[in-house]
């Protein structure tokens, strides 16, 4: 199968590489000359475990190529995937479809023979209709159909998600397109991956609905964590008890500083706008967005309270800057508003992240970026863990404590990564999220001592 992937961003690169690894002939098109030059040299401009090696092996095998000739790629393709960005539009939060429509106009004059044009980008309901109209107006003789095939990739585990997905969603009523899409994904048959064929608009909405639901699930457990702190319960136990119910499941039930990244914030806002325009507002999703926006500043206030309520002129260390581990992506990362709130309160910030230090230099110029997590702790009155990088679990807590301010050495664990007993043993004061039972225990000890 000959595939043209328009867009060498995150989704485009992962999809093109994995399709090539399936044995398809893939050309990945991008207009950025610097990006293309790097890709041709075997350098992947994004942080995604395993992607560089997989891209290199498929490029060497001749199955994966990179270029900027849209016309040549479209003419020789059985399938053209549109995998360009759909960022939030400045000012109103709607999905900006400029790049999608531009890609449709670029390929339209060059389609030869029956071609399946697939929107891989996350797009509002009805976008496929407009893509079809654009191509039809530009090339009335073209024989094509437009299909929706949303992606469900998690940064940090995108290759695994692509090759072992929970499901493949294909939006089309065209039988020829269905047959071609089945051929494209046939290698997944060995994993018994279900392929769900629905109409195009249903497929477009399914992506938004999935992301919004997961965002609500995260927000729900975060609110439960707040309640746990008030009533003396432990959100870890609550989440475990909920997750054992097969109807609920245990994923996305980790309390923390709120969701971020390139998908959940953008897609939830775009969905609420779409729903309002359709006179069918989604109040649950609207509330989810509002609560998540507020949570970051609430977590910053939690850090300030844990550090005695006054941080002006005092140093606070931050461990983890990306929105999740396994990526260098800082888009909508909770760390940004948390740090900015701490700066507003007068704190002096030092931070470390295993993958995003370079990005942080541009995003958070007011803070000092360290190359070592122990440097972050030097003379700090408190440390805040914002991203649950695996390497943080092996930190020498006693060493951290020795480097912190001896009068105030608080570890604020916004991801509930650490064992409270181990933290206390190292001489640190521990503050977690939603673990009100720890507060009750400390109160009981204090009462007994009195």
**12 to 5, 24, 84: CA distances (angstroms):** 6, 15, 7
Task: Using alpha carbons, list the distances in angstroms from residue 295 to 10, 18, 25.
Answer: 28, 37, 46
The whole-angstrom separation of Cα 403 and Cα 409 is 9
Secondary structure of residue 263 in the 3-state scheme:
coil
**Interaxial angle between packed helices 335-344 and 283-306, expressed in degrees from 0 to 180 and rounded to the nearest 10:** 50
Q: Helix-strand-coil percent breakdown of the chain, rounded to 5?
A: 50, 15, 40
For residues 397 and 369, is the Cβ–Cβ distance under 8 A? Answer: no
Inter-CA distances, 223 with 276, 294, 415, 416, 418, Å: 25, 12, 14, 15, 21
Cβ distance 70 to 99 under 8 Å? no
Helix extents (H) in 147-199: 158-163, 175-184
Beta partners for 351? 318, 369
307 is catalytic: no
Active-site residue (options: 18, 228, 263, 307): 263
Strand partners, 349: 316
> Quick one: CA torsion of 134, 136, 139, 145, rounded to 10 degrees?
110
What values do phi and psi take at 152, rounded to 5?
Answer: -135, 55
Residue 358 sits at φ, ψ, to 5 deg, of: -65, -45
- DSSP per-residue letters across 284-303: HHHHHHHHHHHHHHHHHHHH
Ramachandran region of residue 62, left (φ > 0), alpha (ψ -120 to 50) or beta?
left
Residue 29 CA to residue 82 CA, distance in Å, equals: 10
Tell me the catalytic residues.
263
């Amino acid at each position: 199968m000959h595939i043209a992937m328009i867009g060498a961003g995150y989704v485009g690169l992962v999809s093109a590489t994995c399709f090539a690894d399936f044995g398809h002939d893939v050309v990945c098109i991008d207009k950025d000359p610097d990006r293309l030059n790097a890709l041709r040299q075997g350098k992947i401009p994004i942080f995604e475990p395993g992607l560089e090696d997989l891209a290199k092996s498929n490029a060497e095998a001749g199955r994966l190529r990179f270029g900027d000739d849209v016309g040549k790629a479209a003419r020789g393709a059985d399938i053209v995937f549109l995998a360009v960005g759909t960022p939030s539009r400045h000012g109103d939060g709607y999905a900006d479809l400029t790049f999608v429509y531009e890609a449709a106009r670029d390929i339209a004059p060059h389609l030869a023979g029956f071609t399946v044009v697939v929107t891989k980008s996350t797009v509002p309901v009805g976008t496929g209709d407009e893509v079809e109209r654009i191509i039809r107006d530009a090339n009335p003789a073209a024989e094509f159909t437009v299909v929706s095939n949303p992606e469900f990739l998690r940064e940090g585990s995108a290759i695994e998600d692509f090759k072992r997905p929970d499901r493949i969603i294909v939006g089309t009523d065209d039988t020829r397109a269905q047959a071609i899409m089945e051929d494209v994904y046939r290698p997944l048959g060995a994993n018994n991956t279900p392929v769900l064929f629905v109409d195009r608009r249903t497929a477009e909405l399914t992506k938004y609905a999935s992301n919004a639901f997961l965002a609500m699930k995260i927000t729900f457990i975060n609110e439960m964590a707040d309640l746990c702190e008030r009533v003396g319960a432990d959100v870890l136990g609550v989440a475990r008890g909920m997750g054992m119910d097969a109807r609920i499941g245990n994923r996305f039930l980790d309390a923390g500083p709120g969701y971020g990244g390139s998908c959940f914030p953008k897609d939830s806002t775009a969905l609420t706008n779409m729903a309002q325009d359709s006179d069918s507002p989604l109040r649950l999703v609207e509330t989810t967005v509002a609560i998540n926006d507020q949570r970051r500043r609430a977590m910053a206030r939690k850090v300030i309270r844990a550090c005695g309520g006054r941080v002006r002129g005092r140093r606070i260390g931050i461990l983890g800057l990306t929105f999740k581990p396994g990526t260098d992506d800082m888009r909508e990362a909770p760390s940004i508003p948390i740090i900015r709130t701490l700066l507003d309160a007068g704190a002096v910030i030092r931070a470390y992240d295993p993958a995003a230090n370079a990005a942080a230099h541009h995003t958070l110029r007011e803070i000092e970026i360290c190359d070592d997590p122990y440097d972050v702790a030097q003379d700090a009155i408190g440390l805040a863990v914002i991203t649950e990088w695996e390497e943080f679990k092996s930190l020498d807590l006693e060493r951290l404590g020795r480097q912190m301010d001896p009068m105030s050495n608080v570890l604020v664990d916004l991801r509930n990564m650490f064992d409270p007993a181990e933290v206390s043993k190292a001489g640190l004061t521990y503050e977690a999220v939603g673990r009100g039972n720890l507060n009750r225990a400390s109160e009981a000890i204090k009462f007994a001592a009195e």
